[in-house]
Structure 1
Amino acid sequence: MLTVLSLMDDRSRPKGSRDPLGIEAVWSFMGRKVVGNLTTVTSNLDNFMVALLCCHHANTRSDQLDNVQTAFLRAEQLAAYLRLSGGEEGFLGITRAKANFKSSQLPLGQGEAAQILSNQLSYGLWGLYSTAMKVAGLIDGPDRRLTDQGNKLVCEMIAFLGEANWQEFQEISEVDLASMESVKALAPAFNGLLRDSQLRASVVKALLQWEAAQPLQLELYRFASQYLNVSGASLSVSVFCHWLLEQQDTSDALRATIQQIQSLEPLLVLAGSLMEWLQGQKDCKRAELLDVLQPRLENLALADDWQALGGLPHRAFLKRLFDAAINHDAEALINGVLEQNKLVMQQRGGAAWLEWQGDVLRVRVANDRALIPDNLHEHCHGRWWNSYFIGSFLQIARQAV
């Protein structure tokens, strides 16, 4: 599982500050039952197409890993400027690329000025998109070398681009400072490649419907294709899951998995909401917290389909939380969240964010903006916090429609 930084750099936060209840392990476990390769950040088809081209280019330049990586970075940087020249801004490293583009200085290479991300190897296409391509059988090995299937796709792309344009791309990527003139000259052909519907459909199929994909992913792809062909189809994971259950030909296996996801999500939303709320209750007394939470549990109802799952991470915590919720036991809910946070933080070598000191709540990592909703049932069932990778799946699938 890849660890991905959001807009805020997690390295600036206290140790263990990401996912304080270990919820990501739970929804990821469920998500992998239906989506075997994508992650929450691999939702841009253009990025996959560029990554495949970069892999091919890099491995034609050297068989030494360091040199392969450098060639990949250069190709990714050049592709960013080509995409920016064509008006595309949905790529990794957009902020630095735009700054360089405005100054007409287009550096390429490993140097700090050239890298379009703080650590381009980790947070760019090499680091974030490779796992999905490896699982789909498009690349292999630490050098991201194309497999026969990956090479077939790249040959289609190069044929569309034209050998002369591909040669120009490779030549520009090897200079230390690309000229704005050369980038703008190549940009129309390069962006035309990324927009070709036939090429896009081929890459989507290779990513979502590869030969060795799990049966549930193959079925999900079939249904997603039907769903996305309906005008105005929502990319909401919740809406799509409800739609899936309404289809008469959904298999028993996929239906059961989707129902388990639907039953699990409100429980995870409850856990996350309680954690955030408690982070804003520094020095509150136990009785005060119970007075606030207890009335909000009266109408809370949760389904238990998820309990049929084997191997579910943090099962004991989830079962404790579920039992406390259906019994409307506010104190057990709070204690369950505190003890789970302590366990997760201990496993990461950090201190608990929340703990009791007598009957007073001590808060180490505060969240002053968190509130507890008046209607917890509506809040937990009306929101969908976790993607189960289905969100990325839908976004990729849509880009072939």
Structure 2
Amino acid sequence: MTELDSSTAAMPAGGLPYFTNVDPALSRSSGGRDPLGLLPVWSAFGRRLVPNLASPVGHVNGIKAVVLIQWLLNLDALQSLLERDGARRRFFRLMEGLIEYWLYHNGHTACFGYTALTAGKGNFSVTTKMGKTVANGLYQYYRGTCRRAALVDDNWAVAPGVASQLDEHWTADATQVLKAALADPLKSASNALFPEQYLGGALATALSGVFDQNTLRQTLQECLFGDTYQQTLASMFLALRNAADTKNLNLKDRVGKLVLPQLDHAIDCVQRCEPFLLVMQDAFDYLRGSPGKRLDLVARELDAMLPAMRERAARFATLAGEQNSTRMRHMQVLADILATASTAAAASKEAVLVTFLRELVAYHTRCMKERGRDPMVLIESDLVLLPVIGDRSPEDAKKSLESGQSWMNDYYLTTASNLYAQVF
């Protein structure tokens, strides 16, 4: 059992301590992301507006880099480099580092790894086992966008129209330089690739052609944003971000100003979804900021928030049937607890909130169990116990519960508008 620090451990009236320090043998939850499993729900609504783009996709150069690397992986002239198991992934890692280095040193925007690129200067190198984002970010964050946009197919073969455009700018000489550069690093992780040694002549010329702003431009305009209405939405959101009278609006108010009849229902779903996701997150964070407290006390501290919580839950409850996932059905249960509650007396307010908070912790526990992780909050004998201490102040969570203003999720709209500005 974890040894409690007597200077920081609390001992509530019931005599049961809560944990203040992480015991790795007991808890594996400290690295958990999205502890309430919100992503599958909000992203499903977001995909109705922005079907292809992932949130970390910030630069069109990264999309071009991925399709170029995938295209090179299928060149006959390079297949002799790729015969060993795992060689294709190692090739991708080396190419990421090489391309990011070339972008950074040729006046383009690199996608990842500014710290490594700046520190390394001409001595920057990459190996097949490098773990930094400068050699892994595109593979991790950009490939899904390229596949959803049909720039590559499900087998990662580059679309014929894209391949033909890349072929216009790539030469046999560039391939030979690349082959020489990658041969030894692919054989052993002890052999580093130093991009500076190879990024001149034919290879530099080829990369300049691929990353010219007009290369693939029309293809990206047609593929990245979805249908005509979704493309229009990206343009509208960009205009709201840039216009003098709307550029300082928060995300909630910007979304409220989007008027596009063909997507009105999808936009409305977002407006009904996000406020209740905030209720869930804020209530969860408040619990994490209340170690050692009895659940009824936590409920009394939040009872003034109940009318606002109920209103947001009632709007979310109307989304029943919009998604049929298990996650969505569990969230509907949570929303119904608040939405159908009586407002009669303070005692009933407390009971409603206790029921909601219990179910919220049970829901969180199921989410973490699905990932093979331990929960971040426990309720035992009506006490809030924390295997991992919370990292958000309860005052901040309570303030957010009251206002409901600062949306956590942008439903890919910021990403879409950023990319729209780059390709149009």
Deviation at 1:70, TM superposition (A): 3.3
What is the aligned partner in structure 2 of residue 50 from structure 1? 65
1:47-126 alignment, distance < 5 Å = 47-60=62-75, 61-62=78-79, 64=83, 66-88=86-108, 90-99=110-119, 101-102=120-121, 104-110=122-128, 112=129, 115=130, 117=132, 120=135, 123-126=136-139
2:56 match: secondary structure: coil
What is the aligned partner in structure 1 of residue 238 from structure 2? 228
Q: Cα deviations across residues 62-100 of structure 1 (Å, max 9, x unaligned)?
A: 16474433333332221111122135564233333333x
What is the aligned partner in structure 1 of residue 7 from structure 2? none
Structure 1 residues 168, 317: closer, same or farther in 2, change over 3 A?
same
1:139 match: secondary structure: coil
What is the aligned partner in structure 1 of residue 151 from structure 2? 138
Q: What TM-score, normalized to structure 1? A: 0.77
Deviation at 1:385, TM superposition (A): 0.7
> Which residue type is aligned with residue 125 of structure 2?
P
What is the aligned partner in structure 2 of residue 279 from structure 1? 288
Note the residue ranges of structure 1 that are not aligned, 5 or more in a row: 1-11
Q: Cα deviations across residues 232-255 of structure 1 (Å, max 9, x unaligned)?
A: 1559754553232x34xx21xx21
What is the aligned partner in structure 2 of residue 7 from structure 1? none
Q: What TM-score, normalized to structure 2? A: 0.74
Q: Which has the larger radius of gyration?
A: 2
> Which residue type is aligned with residue 403 of structure 2?
H
Note the residue ranges of structure 2 that are not aligned, 5 or more in a row: 1-26, 186-192, 342-348
Deviation at 1:366, TM superposition (A): 1.7
1: CA distance between counterparts of 2:117 and 2:147?
27
Q: Cα deviations across residues 315-359 of structure 1 (Å, max 9, x unaligned)?
A: 343223323434353222211211111222232333332222212
In the alignment, is residue 243 of structure 1 matched against residue 257 of structure 2?
Answer: yes
1:282 match: secondary structure: coil
Deviation at 1:13, TM superposition (A): 5.7
1: CA distance between counterparts of 2:392 and 2:143?
37
> Which residue type is aligned with residue 199 of structure 2?
V
Q: How many residues align?
A: 367
Q: Cα deviations across residues 31-52 of structure 1 (Å, max 9, x unaligned)?
A: 2333333222223211011112
1: CA distance between counterparts of 2:217 and 2:143?
19
1:159-308 alignment, distance < 5 Å = 172=181, 177-178=193-194, 180=196, 182-183=198-199, 193=209, 196-199=212-215, 201-209=217-225, 217-228=227-238, 232-233=242-243, 238-244=252-258, 246-247=259-260, 250-251=261-262, 254-300=263-309, 301-302=311-312, 303-304=315-316, 305-308=318-321
Q: Cα deviations across residues 119-176 of structure 1 (Å, max 9, x unaligned)?
A: 94xx43234322222222222355x3322133134235x27xx886676566555575
RMSD: 3.5
Structure 1 residues 89, 136: closer, same or farther in 2, change over 3 A?
closer
Deviation at 1:367, TM superposition (A): 0.7
2: CA distance between counterparts of 1:184 and 1:364?
55
Deviation at 1:229, TM superposition (A): 5.4
> Which residue type is aligned with residue 118 of structure 2?
K
Structure 1 residues 116, 86: closer, same or farther in 2, change over 3 A?
farther
> Which residue type is aligned with residue 230 of structure 2?
L
2: CA distance between counterparts of 1:393 and 1:294?
39
Give the alignment partner of residue 379 of structure 1, picking from 385, 388, 403: 403
Contact 1:80 1:91 in 2 (8 A): yes
2: CA distance between counterparts of 1:181 and 1:17?
41
Deviation at 1:220, TM superposition (A): 1.0
1: CA distance between counterparts of 2:239 and 2:299?
49
What is the aligned partner in structure 1 of residue 334 from structure 2? 321
1: CA distance between counterparts of 2:176 and 2:250?
41
1:361 match: secondary structure: strand
1: CA distance between counterparts of 2:63 and 2:299?
49
Give the alignment partner of residue 363 of structure 1, picking from 386, 392, 404: 386
Structure 1 residues 223, 27: closer, same or farther in 2, change over 3 A?
closer
Residue range with higher mean Cα deviation, 26-35 or 89-98: 89-98
Contact 2:296 2:354 in 1 (8 A): no
What is the aligned partner in structure 2 of residue 150 from structure 1? 162
